[in-house]
A and B are shown apart, each in its own frame.
Chain A
């Protein structure tokens, strides 16, 4: 299925796997360079990703197909396969105890199942202006709170890099709110022209993302004031990057962001000044794409 997804967006699966491996290794090295708490963050990320495989409906489906005993075997094997990249990196770092702990937890996780969709309604501060931040907050509130906790730890241990990491973690989480194109009905329903629609999306994104990130910025600015310039730099670049993700999303709409657009975004991370050209270019493209649905 993953191969098909890569092929659908015109990407050679083998090449995609190589790039993903490089990206995974790069991010892992970056994380372990930046904070001494990397091992805990790493284990948390691995288990959170694996937790998705323990979803009740998925497990029930497998149980119907394969029966109880087979199900346990399948779940353990797939969890172990999924955890291989994390396990390999921990071994590479000579963290053998943690690697063992990861596989133990991975095996235990395979034997439990839980609903990833909760039955109760999670409160959100964004319910007045649906939908990206409202649904996004409900899906990722624990990451946001973890980022706040990291910020406090960063201040306590006077680790500025960890503080910046927590701010960027929030921004990356917010970017994920814009990763999927919504059903066309929810664009069509607006009585705005494409330009007003896009400007409103950007305005909401800037306002809400600032309100989420501001506590981190303020804490860092108050307790590590000597680096306020760097904090504001990252904050502004991240906001600009958020705008670019929105315009790129609607430039591809109703399709998902394609590889070419993804490369443009990656170039912006490498060299942010490109954003000055990229945002107006994709804004215009978005207007054209949306003109079919918005008049």
Chain B
């Protein structure tokens, strides 16, 4: 379980996160939604201990970062590292031995090619494969569906269901509501660094309708399309 209590984060005078309180339980999938700049990635970086913050994050096991698979929105790769070597590197970092990496290549990536030559979607799939093979208990997936083809989206959705069944904690952010409604148990709406709404699966359709109403409003009419 991970508990975030009274979390604040500022960059200079710019307050990015403002009194965040949330609890993540085992065997549950959480969705975090919000506009660009709402603070999703900063929240993930704070939970991961990549950022310093004010407040408290309590986790079991502790420290959470050593059991966390973090998929970044835009994964970074070294020049001249192959897909296979990238997976090897991330597994070495957690002392995990994978005898046959090719066997685990469910996205059928060209593992012997340099990862820097991969497309955006392939890079995301490679980074996801690597953190899955690390054997983590907790996953933060920052826009896992972004840039990924439909077939792989289906696989990723199934992977998330499997992680839930294995009693792992999964936190996802996505800009595609359907991907969250397919996978999440709870969705939390982040705006200006604060959670302004939290809903359970039964009320996802209400949240989606509300978001549509707030987001679209009469903006399309303003375009005056004819």
Contacts and interface: CB of A to CB of B under 8 A. Distances in A.
A complexed with B: yes
Contacts of B55: none
A186 B82 contact: no
A121 B76 contact: no
A154 B70 CA distance: 51
Contacts of A135: 78-81
A191 interface: yes
B90 interface: yes
B48 A188 contact: yes
A188 B89 CA distance: 12
Contact of B66 (A128, A184, A185, A191): A191
B44 to A, nearest CB: 12
A125 interface: no
Chain B: interface size category: 20 to 34
Contacts of B65: 188, 191, 295
Contact of A189 (B82, B93, B112): B93
Contacts of A130: 78, 81, 85-86, 88-89, 92
Contacts of B84: 127
Interface in A101-151: 117, 119, 121-122, 127-131, 134-135, 138-139
Interface centre among B65, B72, B82, B93 (most CB of A within 10 A): B93
Given A129-B92, A130-B92, A185-B72, A122 B49 contact: no
A203 B6 CA distance: 42
B63 A295 contact: yes
B52 interface: yes
Given A121-B82, A134-B81, A295-B66, A191 B89 contact: no
A255 interface: no
A182 B50 contact: no
A225 B72 CA distance: 55
A117 B113 CA distance: 13
B120 interface: no
A185 B89 CA distance: 12
Interface residues of A, number: 25
A284 interface: no
B49 A295 contact: yes
Contacts of A182: 78
B151 interface: no
A5 interface: no
B201 interface: no
A121 B78 contact: no
B100 to A, nearest CB: 14
B93 A127 contact: no
B114 interface: yes
B89 A131 contact: yes
A130 B70 CA distance: 19
A119 B82 CA distance: 12
Contacts of A121: 82, 112-114
A115 B83 CA distance: 21
B167 interface: no
Nearest to A187: B93
Given A127-B88, A134-B85, A189 B80 contact: no
Contacts of B60: none
A184 B50 contact: yes
A117 B88 contact: no
A189 B94 contact: yes
A131 B92 CA distance: 11
Contacts of B76: 183, 185-186
B116 to A, nearest CB: 8
Contacts of B114: 121
B117 interface: yes
A190 interface: yes
B218 interface: no
Contacts of A131: 78, 81, 85, 89
A293 interface: yes
A134 B79 CA distance: 10
Given A130-B88, A185-B70, A191-B93, 8 more contacts: A121-B82, A127-B82, A131-B85, A182-B78, A185-B50, A185-B72, A189-B70, A190-B94
Interface of A: 117, 119, 121-122, 127-131, 134-135, 138-139, 182-186, 188-191, 292-293, 295
* 4 cross-chain pairs, A with B, having the tightest CB-CB distances, nearest first: A191-B66, A130-B89, A295-B63, A138-B80
